[in-house]
Structure 1
Amino acid sequence: MKIEKIKIKNYKVFEDTEISDLPSMCVFLGANGSGKSTLFDIFGFLSEALRNNVRSAINNRGGFKEVISRNKSGDIEFEIKFRNDAIDGKKQPLITYELKIGLEQNMPIVKREVLSYRRGQMGKPFKFLNFSSGRGFAIINEEKFEEAKQDFQEERKEFLLESADILAIKGLGQFQSFKAISDFRKLLESWYISNFQIPDAKKSQDIGVSESLSSTGDNLALVTDYIYENYPKIFDEILVKMKKRVPGIADVKAAKTEDGRIILKFQDGSFKDPFISRYVSDGTLKMFAYLILMNNPHKHPLLCIEEPENYLHPELLQQLAEEFREYSIKGGQVFISTHSPDFVNALNLEELFWLTKKNGYTFINRAKDDETVKSLVKEGDQLGYLWNQKYFKGSGPQ
């Protein structure tokens, strides 16, 4: 699954912003407060609205007045276009999800929720889901859409939700018969934002099973043990990469203690006894956590990583960028924010975007659309150096 376009209107610093033709790996630059975290929070907002409801997602961000763009009235709007992975080499149709949130009697409600796609470039678009204020319809014979092509005859069913602040994809997305709806629901449920915390990752854990790394990394030891026990070949590949990234590391194990807990132990080839995770460097632990995250067989459709360069040596950032790119090529889209020119030096032109703020609102620019940057890269300049030389206008604090 790959997101190809995002349109945002009246959400915090994004008054009216659109980015299209998104690559598998997108890296965003910008000064502090320019909106990088807010961009990632869009998926957090939608995910929370899916798990609970729109009112809860709004209230947890301070209420409607704090979420809607400053000095703006009207509705908060999102439009996300995505495409599922190709099947037998066949490109899948572009699916569009639209959501409009407004106030009714001072309470947040879903004013409009539509999911649609078309057959081919010129075909008629079909709204497979169309809801407003808690009621609407869904097409129930979606499985015939691909076979019938332009002759598709839709069969609708009306639905009434419990309240107007519930997303229709919350219920309908649980049924495989609504495939497009289910696919988008999975994206919102399975997206991942990294808020890696070194102190949390160094803690021991009660023995148990964790298949995927938490956002803070506090279950790193459990996930390490899970991959080691169930996917030994993948774990060996992680170790090979780890040995290349961190000098001296010969082995990593998730060891069980006598009091029923599990800890990480790092073996330095120069010493007989391994080091418990709380005694290894922060950078070593973070690099290992990233390798566990990106080589886990359970892929996330979308990874959002904020400032991956923290605690890492600049020479490791080139390799880290390659790891993220490899993950995206295998089908997991990656959004990254960074303040590191060294990391940016490892990027391709089409992967880089920068945020600028004017009159309180944020705009998103793409490096490949800037003719000066484009020509300098063609001549051999690296993007991180161009950033230092202030070619990305408005991307710095001044």
Structure 2
Amino acid sequence: MTWNWQRPDWPDFTWDQDRLTRAETLFAQGAGMVIGASRHLDDPSRETLVVDLMSVDAVATSAIEGEVLDRDSVQSSIRRQLGLAGDRRSVGAAEAGIAEMMVSLYRSLAEPLDHDRLHAWHRMVMNGRRDLEAIGRYRTHREPMQIVSGAVYAPRVHFEAPPSAQVPAEMEHFLAWFEDTAPTGARPLPALTRAGLAHLWFESIHPFEDGNGRIGRAIAEKALAQGITQGLADPVLTAVAGTLLKHRKPYYGALEAASRALDVTDWLLWFAAKVIEAQRRSLAQVEFIIGKARLLGRVRGKLNTRQEKAVLRMFAAGTDGFTGGLSAGNYRGITGATPATATRDLADLVALDVLYRTGERKATRYHLCVPLKPVATIEVDDLCGGSPRRNGGHR
């Protein structure tokens, strides 16, 4: 098996830039829509958006690696590190670590990427781990770095990375390229192309003992932000990890296929489709928060404590909505209300146009009167166009 880094022309990736033209245009247009919609948010709502995007992305990027984190704890830790009001709950090492990395990423989106920052991110992501030799530095072990699955007696090797001895030089080359292709660099690349290449290249080097996926997705997020927020005061997160989690198996498959060759057109198209899908989810989140602010402003002072608690709980479910709608039983569980009180409270919320009702009797459910914009899956076929033209040779 020959991996991409074993080929004579490594790392001279090639791709068909014309086939990515429509994707780059859609991404730029989507960025404008997200930025424009975000300007309608007041400061508290903007803080909510940033924390929501970071916490969802932190939980998702960990879930891709099979690590299940508590979202409320991650969100609490993010708010704390941003200096925002929040609860003081105890937070586990894994939740605190990924939250710290997300805040570091957000605060440094416009800054250069270097070895020190990557090492710091690795220490954050590996917070609490005691089973690794190298934390906060590149791997040095002599045995091959492999991604495997299956039984111990018959493992399937999905990828083998360069030997540890090559990692420092490989990373030096990668970081130089990353800065050279930035919007202010000598050879700037379009945002989607640069982010997709950066993610694949970093994963191909696989410089750390563990945590490469989470850090690689952070690098892609950084590249996307640099490509769309140049000169803006507030950085914009695409929050791509949540969408990659929804397509986890194809994501791993696309990375594995791309690790076998230097023509990466198919990978870049697949990655672009998922980024645009993620961007549309972020736009839906912005619109949802705007709707939330308008609804709560309209009924300010009209809700009792129970109603307010239940409504805020429904909003906390985000754009995916309160699963299946809110039942009277759910309402009683959230608020502690008696059945009669719950019936009156819910009827009042419907009368105030806070909730709308569907179903009858035991099937009765209540939903927020805020549009939940569905986001369709974006496929590669939605993006293709243009005549062949090869780009590459980025030594």
Normalised by the length of structure 2, the TM-score is 0.28
Normalised by the length of structure 1, the TM-score is 0.28
Q: Which one has a larger percent helix, Structure 1 or Structure 2? A: 2
Q: Which one has a larger percent strand, Structure 1 or Structure 2? A: 1
